[in-house]
Amino acid sequence: MIRPTARFVMAALAAAAPLALSGAPATAQDQPAYPAIHMAPAPDPDHPAYFDLLEAIDGSVNRDALFDTMGAAIAREYAQVPEIAALEKAKPGLIDATVRAMRPVLEGVMARVEGEYRPRRRELLARNLSPSEAQDLAAFYRSPLGMKILGNVSRSMTEDGFLEDLDQDITSGKDLSEVQVTREEVASDVDKAVRSARGAMSQAEMAELARLAKEKPALLKLATIRGELLALQTQMANEQPNAGEIAAIEQAAITAIEAHIGK
């Protein structure tokens, strides 16, 4: 039985928000000049402002779309297994039924990984943002412009380009549970998503974003911690289900297959 991983959702989830304003600029002329930063001793990462900022960031993610993308990837992987492909031919819809049965377990995997990484994400933000700056960012992410930017970033992470990369791994015969996502691949995915989001903005929205960046320097400060963000995102992207979760995924798949064959 193929063991699907959680890396599809984690890559998108990790990239969706913090880099929306710190992705690679489209051209050299777009490169902003970031002010020198002199940080005071790191605030307490358990300050409510950092919890609120992560809530604003994570709230922008379209989880249904992310799971749909992961489900499509798993279905493509299953279709490459001769035994499962034969069952699908005899009993059309078997693969889709199997993926649907596995989804609750995969949602649990994502929840676990999110919970494990949330303290590390808060610590990273606390080392680089004051509580007031975190509050400014949370307010921006909840504004109409901020929600549009993050929504576009999240959406672009679930489109065909992501599945095309997976297809290359699948057709080359790789077991996706053994594929390690590199920092360069995460950076490339994020940069593509950011450029797509920027391209969807009007001139008036770009001007508004530039104005806000001058008023709230925290909007630009995230770009200075891009390396740390990418390192953490890469670790998240490579997280795997644990033994208990793998067993639950496989049992859900077996139960669904047996039920579908018995129809």
In a domain, 28, yes or no: no
Q: Name residues whose C-beta falls within 8 Å of residue 156's C-beta, 6 or more positions apart in sequence.
A: 192, 193, 196, 197
Q: Is 32 a domain residue?
A: no
pLDDT value at residue 67: 85
Residue 226 lies in a domain: yes
Range of the structural domain that residue 76 is part of: 7-21+41-261
The pLDDT, as a whole number, for residue 100 is 95
pLDDT given at position 232: 86
Distance CA 208, CA 115 (A): 34
Residue 29 lies in a domain: no
Q: Hey, what amino acid is at 100?
A: R
pLDDT in tens for each of the 263 residues of the chain? 333 333 444 444 444 444 444 444 444 344 444 444 444 555 799 999 999 999 988 888 788 887 888 888 889 888 988 988 999 999 999 999 999 999 999 999 989 998 999 999 999 999 999 999 999 999 998 999 888 888 877 777 665 555 555 555 555 555 555 677 788 887 887 777 778 878 888 989 988 888 888 888 888 887 788 888 888 888 888 888 899 999 999 999 999 999 998 86
Domain tally for the chain? 1
| pTM, to two decimals | 0.78
Domain annotation covers residue 27: no
Q: 85 lies in a domain?
A: yes
For residue 218, tell me if it sits in a domain: yes
In a domain, 219, yes or no: yes
